[in-house]
Structure 1
């Protein structure tokens, strides 16, 4: 029995569930005629219940009844049709649907009604039942609905239930009793799928063991087939040796020995390689497809803004240079993803600040212009709430006075964008002027923290209530932070890194809205400001930035459960003033993931060189050049590539090459070089450091 919520839904076929069906007058008249017994020419009898009907109405609703009533074997003089085994209530609902095109669906009747609709080919009713089941998919019932859909051969419901199960597998295998009841073939199909959403293959092995241990005497004989669904080549060597190889279902099982031997040889060869890579031809070493893609757009590199787009494949732990870049480079902007559309807001192109906004459709890979903001904003803070984009504060840029000092103040204003109407609307001003701040949304409100007010870096924070159109100050952070990264994560507000007026910081803190207090967190390995920040795979990622001496390409992530930071693979290009967002459930996700051969080092380099060439053409008078990484990552980054169960490691050397050095070198070579800070930050970034620096912007 499927576990469904105890609710009743009245749904109709013609309108898709809006409460009104088309041609309701006609259907209403037909229903009245049936209730009155007028013009009825047949009776459907179920058990001791009789239902007068019109043959033409039932024939129009169901090919089964059309065939029955038009068959030569069915006498026109015969009025009664007996259907044995059909529940009376289901028969009544089926007949009511034929006359009204509506049905009352509940957790109690959905299973029987779906089966009846399928048996008697009442396709409209079957469609409504499948849509009801789709809307009520949960971790507890999705596998049961999947098997039920397979039983009635409802491909659309089967597909949606399978997609739900694959996406939420991490929660399902550990808690669902339906998982333990899966047939072997269905289980192997799920576990071997490239779309199985697991951050570590260790979880797949745990799922195999849980299923086998439910009935070990009968199921352990299938261990060879089950173990083949685990991508053993992606496991950390310690996990493979300690957990898999020595497991009681594996250690003495001769049938799995060839797979264990092949994996040992693969991991040993991998350990010898200086730059290990995936072997896509080996099923046990091929990364699965991620359900979330992290996009990094634009930024500042080599003394100029860039238009480069990189995506991060969490399953392969690789960065991919995307070919679909915008026409105009920009830095110090904001990006927001709504569905599969990425909106790029404001920014700076080394000569002027923008109020224009761009939209990138990740499905069609087409850039387009959307309505501009009311005010130019670089160093803008953006957040998403209830389908609306909020743009807050920032810096309008020059004019300068005759002495060369910028007299344009930092902004207090804020505005909201409605994608449906393509319109920006000004909202209440913030309590403080702030640029180079960062914002996020939580519990129906917008939080903005830190920034620079034109004379000093800020530790203040405030929250916006859209219902009242009011800003309210909240307790300040423990440190001043300009160029900070702020994001909502596990019910709290995280403020990470930034510039405190003296130096870039590696500190982080967390705000709890319930008790209105800030608490300190472990420090990052790399101090940074003006970096990207996002949550993906339930981990908080910080990307690139400026460390006080140079732009960096280092990436690290924080696991709130472990309370530790971990290094991930570096980006392809050093950059700060970038912006990041996550796009989920892309239909063409494979276009943005790592593919050996297509995303080889040579092709990655080509993509980066294109970005560099475009940027160089735009600022030909600048002598500095972006610093490029063409390797898959440093040794520490690559350790995560084949070690999804991350291990905390020490800080990496973040120095880079001199601004005039255009050689494409690996990070290990870059570590021995230096890069002057003057070529890695924009004039505007220096303006946020202090009031004296602001005069040079």
Structure 2
């Protein structure tokens, strides 16, 4: 028998589960305060000897403890939460249904508070359905918006069974929504086809598919048909596509912050690029209070951090954070070391900063920032000082490539940060393999589970257009990738949905660039020019930030 919450002298009831397997001693006034009709009294030998009244409930043995916890004000973080984590889908439905049938509205709210706090792409469809079923208005919109934002990303990793079990009305509601986070209407058709292929009876919905797609012009329809492979072209040609619908909102945007212009003046502008519309937008209301160049930018938990750099041509250790939900800039704890031309990456929920330069020259020091404590701590120093290097967190490791050492020599070496799990100590290891050429002022991104390195300048001070791949086998691929159209250094590069964007930068002895190139895995093509010539700027992906800019 389970004893719970109060001293034994206060217990006057035994709550009995429906099957009799669970018996919990309780204080009746506490129970009745929230659960007005727990059940009927029952004669029981054990209860007579203990002078406790036995109450037979209609609650199953595994759910009764969660109901009692709720009555005692423990909240949904005890045994109910444990049940959900161990048997998620089934227990959620059972527990919410039970609480609703018992008129325990407070418990229903606590359950949804718990579930929404832990929402994931895997659970979002089921949680949305539960919100609808039990009319949880305070979370309905929030959960549906989360579902719209994460649905395609979920399918890029694995098949979602919950998607296949949706009704036709639910699928239509999701796919027609202008806030569905897709790169093109081809992804919408892909989701529709997955749902239809799961049940042959759904194939009769094919003629209605075109009503789910958003096209504002005939040109968009023709581009769609040329790229689509899920349906025969003849079948697509017979579909009646609706023209003039509102384009979907592109929720993830490429963000460019700071840098220096053609006059070598530091800048403070915040600019976004929409790869879908191929347009730049300068956002004056999000500009920093002070200009900065040769800094680092990191996105973490949908906040954007601007770290270090040059301000008034002085090295700084300042760190600013932009809340992309509110558009508010705040100052967080400064780094220990002032540094410009530094590397920074987000890794395991923290920010790691490596190298750079200050008045004393190139730095080998490294430190990390914990946003939960707002504190920086030193890490082990790199094996070599590195300024104007490039770093990436990829495949569970942090790599730092190239850069300039304290002797002003451009390097081709690569270091990786490794952690001793037993001692919780980090150390840097120099890899035996090197890049194909020395580079500084280059860029690196994680691309198709490999690392792609582009541009920079070599030991002769010559800007480069070359591109190379660093694979998981820790060898530099000697089969050089297609070169960029323009040589560039001190530029920004970012990967988005399998495509690579190289943005602005400079060429030695020449004015900064405003050109933008996109690599699709085969070729580099020119995109819309940046609105100003720029070098020493930084880039990151602004996750779900479009609503802030509308």
What TM-score, normalized by structure 2, do the two folds share?
0.80
Q: Post-superposition shift, 1:164?
A: 4.2
Unaligned runs of 5+ in 1: 1-24, 70-78, 264-281, 398-407, 596-697
SS in 2 for 1:510: strand
- Please point out which of 188, 195, 216 is paired with 1:233: 216
Structure label with greater radius of gyration: 1
**CA contact 1:208–1:227 (8 Å) conserved in 2:** no
SS in 1 for 2:133: helix
Relative to structure 1, the CA distance from residue 353 to residue 57 in structure 2 (aligned partners, 3 Å threshold; closer, same or farther) is closer
Relative to structure 1, the CA distance from residue 67 to residue 138 in structure 2 (aligned partners, 3 Å threshold; closer, same or farther) is same
1:484 to 2:442 alignment: yes
1:510 to 2:469 alignment: yes
SS in 2 for 1:557: strand
- Please point out which of 448, 456, 472 is paired with 2:409: 456
Q: Deviations over 1:570-593 (max 9, x none)?
A: 32212111011223244xx3223x
Distance 2:290 2:18 in 1: 71
**CA contact 1:201–1:231 (8 Å) conserved in 2:** yes
**CA contact 2:185–2:214 (8 Å) conserved in 1:** yes
SS in 2 for 1:355: coil
Q: Post-superposition shift, 1:231?
A: 1.0
Counterpart in the other structure of 1:645 = none
What TM-score, normalized by structure 1, do the two folds share?
0.64
Q: Post-superposition shift, 1:98?
A: 3.1
Q: Give the alignment's Cα RMSD to 1 decimal.
A: 3.7
Distance 2:543 2:227 in 1: 34
- Please point out which of 590, 612, 630 is paired with 2:547: 590
Counterpart in the other structure of 1:330 = 292
Counterpart in the other structure of 1:411 = 363
Relative to structure 1, the CA distance from residue 136 to residue 345 in structure 2 (aligned partners, 3 Å threshold; closer, same or farther) is closer
- Please point out which of 77, 82, 104 is paired with 1:122: 104
Q: Deviations over 1:103-123 (max 9, x none)?
A: 241325332222111221334
Distance 2:55 2:381 in 1: 73
Counterpart in the other structure of 1:149 = 131
Q: Deviations over 1:171-191 (max 9, x none)?
A: 556833432332222112111
Q: Deviations over 1:557-578 (max 9, x none)?
A: 344xx45444443322121110
Distance 1:301 1:50 in 2: 73
Q: Post-superposition shift, 1:198?
A: 1.1
Counterpart in the other structure of 1:611 = none
Q: Deviations over 1:362-412 (max 9, x none)?
A: 333333434443433222222233343333322324xxxxxxxxxx53333
- Please point out which of 14, 22, 37 is paired with 1:65: 37
**CA contact 2:39–2:57 (8 Å) conserved in 1:** no
Relative to structure 1, the CA distance from residue 542 to residue 181 in structure 2 (aligned partners, 3 Å threshold; closer, same or farther) is same
Counterpart in the other structure of 1:493 = 451
How many residue pairs get matched?
511
Q: Deviations over 1:434-486 (max 9, x none)?
A: 21111222355432111123433211121233543422211211111110112
**CA contact 1:289–1:590 (8 Å) conserved in 2:** no
Distance 1:442 1:205 in 2: 31
- Please point out which of 455, 468, 473 is paired with 2:425: 468
**CA contact 2:468–2:476 (8 Å) conserved in 1:** no
Counterpart in the other structure of 2:512 = 551
Q: Post-superposition shift, 1:241?
A: 6.3
1:442 to 2:394 alignment: yes
1:536 to 2:496 alignment: yes
**CA contact 2:326–2:548 (8 Å) conserved in 1:** no
**CA contact 1:287–1:316 (8 Å) conserved in 2:** no
Relative to structure 1, the CA distance from residue 88 to residue 249 in structure 2 (aligned partners, 3 Å threshold; closer, same or farther) is farther
- Please point out which of 19, 29, 49 is paired with 2:6: 29
SS in 1 for 2:536: coil
Q: Post-superposition shift, 1:96?
A: 5.8
Relative to structure 1, the CA distance from residue 239 to residue 505 in structure 2 (aligned partners, 3 Å threshold; closer, same or farther) is same
Q: Deviations over 1:136-166 (max 9, x none)?
A: 7665654344324322333456556534432
Relative to structure 1, the CA distance from residue 510 to residue 327 in structure 2 (aligned partners, 3 Å threshold; closer, same or farther) is same
1:196 to 2:155 alignment: no
Q: Deviations over 1:29-48 (max 9, x none)?
A: 17x569xxx533x9778477
Q: Deviations over 1:199-218 (max 9, x none)?
A: 11111123334434555656
Distance 2:73 2:122 in 1: 33
Distance 1:416 1:215 in 2: 51
Q: Deviations over 1:49-88 (max 9, x none)?
A: 89687653333234x639999xxxxxxxxx998777x645
Relative to structure 1, the CA distance from residue 168 to residue 416 in structure 2 (aligned partners, 3 Å threshold; closer, same or farther) is closer
Note the 1:248-327 alignment, pairs <5 A: 251-252=237-238, 256=240, 260=241, 263=243, 282-283=244-245, 285-290=246-251, 292-303=252-263, 304-323=265-284, 324-327=286-289
Distance 1:389 1:423 in 2: 11
SS in 1 for 2:310: coil
Higher RCO (C-alpha under 8 Å, 6+ residues apart)? 1
**CA contact 2:225–2:236 (8 Å) conserved in 1:** no
Q: Deviations over 1:623-682 (max 9, x none)?
A: xxxxxxxxxxxxxxxxxxxxxxxxxxxxxxxxxxxxxxxxxxxxxxxxxxxxxxxxxxxx
